[in-house]
Amino acid sequence: MRKIKFIIFVTVISTLLAGCADSDYEDTKNVQTMIELNAVQSIAVQNDSGASMDITDRKSIERFDEVIHHAVYDIGQLDIASPDYVASVKAENGGAVTFSFWMEGENDALFIKSGQNGHYKLRGTAKATLLDLFQSDEPLNRLAFIAERKADGELVAKPIIPAGLGALS
């Protein structure tokens, strides 16, 4: 009888230890491929007010890819308001994957991938990186100025206005 109790005790302890050994389940789950970076043609982003933009430059696409690949997976289902941003990643083969992001406010940023259960939590500066990427204003990034010297010797910066935009008001 004593041996049976001992065997049961060892079995229970072994089972408990084996169950605790996989405590990094959440972290290992996010190793899956979110998108195939080399196949991405563009990312169409739409915010909650309907404004949209396309991300086509490789550097920005790589930033997006890096951020989502370092997110932490959580198996729980989200039941919250409509997303702040929706990003549709379009592949060269015509396929697309949609990501929905909740990032506004002081809360942690979350996102889901279409066709997948659970959600992902963004770590560290990932939220700021995506907000910067999603809220970038491309025309402002391309402003250029010419320095001209006035008759009194003062330098003045005059903007170079691209054709079709007209004069600044």
**Domain CATH for 84:** 2.60.40.4400
Within a domain: residue 87?
yes
pLDDT at 89: 92
Within a domain: residue 105?
yes
Per-residue pLDDT of the chain (169 residues; tens, 9 = 90+): 777 776 776 676 766 655 554 444 444 344 445 677 778 889 999 988 888 899 998 999 999 999 988 888 888 777 678 899 999 999 888 888 999 999 887 777 889 888 888 889 988 889 989 988 888 654 433 456 677 888 998 888 777 765 544 554 4
Q: Round to whole Å and give the CA distance between 41 and 166.
A: 32
Looking at the structure of the chain, the number of domains it has is: 1
Within a domain: residue 5?
no
Within a domain: residue 124?
yes
pLDDT at 142: 47
Within a domain: residue 78?
yes
Within a domain: residue 120?
yes
Task: Report pTM.
Answer: 0.61
CA-closest candidate to residue 103, choices 118, 88, 81: 81
pLDDT at 81: 81
Within a domain: residue 16?
no
Within a domain: residue 15?
no
Domain hosting 60: range is 26-136
pLDDT tens-place string over residues 45-75: 998 888 889 999 899 999 999 998 888 888 8
